[in-house]
Amino acid sequence: AAGVIQSPRHLIKEKRETATLKCYPIPRHDTVYWYQQGPGQDPQFLISFYEKMQSDKGSIPDRFSAQQFSDYHSELNMSSLELGDSALYFCASSPWTSGGYSYEQYFGPGTRLTVT
């Protein structure tokens, strides 16, 4: 079965550089979520999109932005990178369940970002 695809899988950047992470959701999933997980930390929600519109916003720094495109893939843009941005970044997707209540999200393998 198709899974969530994230690219790149690994990324090394220097401080103050920019990075772009990409996420391709499972086909027919119209909601995309981004999470950040620092070393030894629990996943933290950053932002989500439903039908190309931002649907929820968490602890996403102002230096970060994201969008969802017409083909439903999403990109997380990170600027002025700091050492503390080093983390695993997960993208997840879920289908719209009209009148439903599922909290089932499908996570990708993650992008490991290292800022030096």
Partner 1 sequence: LAKTTQPVSMDSYEGQEVNITCSHNNIATNDYITWYQQFPSQGPRFIIQGYKTKVTNEVASLFIPADRKSSTLSLPRVSLSDTAVYYCLVGDERQAGTALIFGKGTTLSVSS
**From residue 1, how far is each of 27, 79, 106, 107 by CA, in Å?**
10, 34, 12, 13
Sole binder of partner 1 in the list 13, 52, 112, 114 (CB under 8 A): 112
Residue found by looking up tokens 């050492």 in the block: 83
SS3 84: helix
Q: How many whole angstroms separate alpha carbon 31 and alpha carbon 95? A: 6
Q: What binding mask, one character per residue, do residues 10-39 give for partner 1 by CB under 8 A, x or -?
A: ---------------------x-x-x----
Q: What binding mask, one character per residue, do residues 37-76 give for partner 1 by CB under 8 A, x or -?
A: -----xxxx--x-x----xx-x------------------
Whether 9 and 23 have beta carbons less than 8 Å apart is answered as no
State the residues that interact with partner 1 by CB under 8 A: 4, 31, 33, 35, 42-45, 48, 50, 55-56, 58, 88, 90, 92, 94, 96-97, 100-110, 112
